[in-house]
């Protein structure tokens, strides 16, 4: 995904990433690939308490989200490798949301400060 993609396209990529990351099994697969490098579904099944068939289904969804890419390996075995580009798109999406929220919250604080000044503090000077 190019960094200068259309906002709707970027949001669609971010949505796919969030859907993929919503499942703890898929997060575990991504963590295993991040820690151990490219691996086959069989390799991952040896590291995780999940069947090879379940791993293959999760890897398909991760591939659809662009988070992993399948590469041909030796003896017709397919190895899966992480791709960071979709994750960066999701990070930019979250950063933009955070920025929007920060601006709105700063505006609310400024408005409240103008319309409702803080009460005077009692320092005990009149006692």
Q: Is residue 97 part of a domain?
A: yes
Q: Does 127 map to a domain?
A: no
- Look up the CATH number of the domain holding residue 72: 1.10.10.10
How many domains does the structure of the chain reveal? 1
Strand partners, 78: 72
Report residue 126's pLDDT band, with 50, 70 and 90 as the boundaries. Answer: low
Using one digit for the tens of pLDDT, what is the confidence trace for 75-87?
A: 778 999 999 999 9
pTM greater than the 0.75 cutoff: no
All residues at 6 or more sequence positions from 50 whose CB lies less than 8 Å from its CB, including other chains: 25, 28, 44, 58
pLDDT confidence of 1, banded at 50, 70, 90? very low
Instruction: Give a yes or no: residue 1 inside a domain.
Output: yes
Strand partners, 69: 81
46: in domain = yes
pLDDT tens digits along 98-113: 876 667 677 777 777 7
For 23, the domain range is: 1-115
Bridge pairing between strands 68-72 and 78-82? antiparallel
- Under DSSP, the state recorded for 118 is P
Other CB atoms closer than 10 Å to residue 92's CB: what's the count? Answer: 14
Tell which wins on pLDDT, 108 or 69. Answer: 69
**65 CB-side CA count, 13 A:** 28
């Amino acid at each position: 995904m190019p960094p200068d993609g259309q906002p709707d396209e970027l949001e669609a990529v971010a949505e796919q990433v969030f859907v993929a990351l919503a499942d703890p099994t898929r997060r575990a697969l991504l963590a295993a690939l991040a820690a151990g490098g490219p691996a086959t579904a069989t390799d991952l099944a040896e590291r995780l308490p999940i069947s090879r068939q379940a791993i293959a289904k999760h890897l398909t969804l991760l591939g659809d989200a662009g988070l992993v890419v399948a590469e041909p390996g030796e003896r017709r075995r397919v190895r899966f490798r992480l791709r960071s580009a979709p994750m960066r798109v999701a990070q930019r999406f979250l950063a933009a949301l955070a920025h929007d929220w920060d601006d709105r919250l700063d505006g609310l604080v400024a408005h409240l400060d103008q319309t409702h000044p803080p009460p005077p503090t009692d320092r005990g000077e009149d006692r």
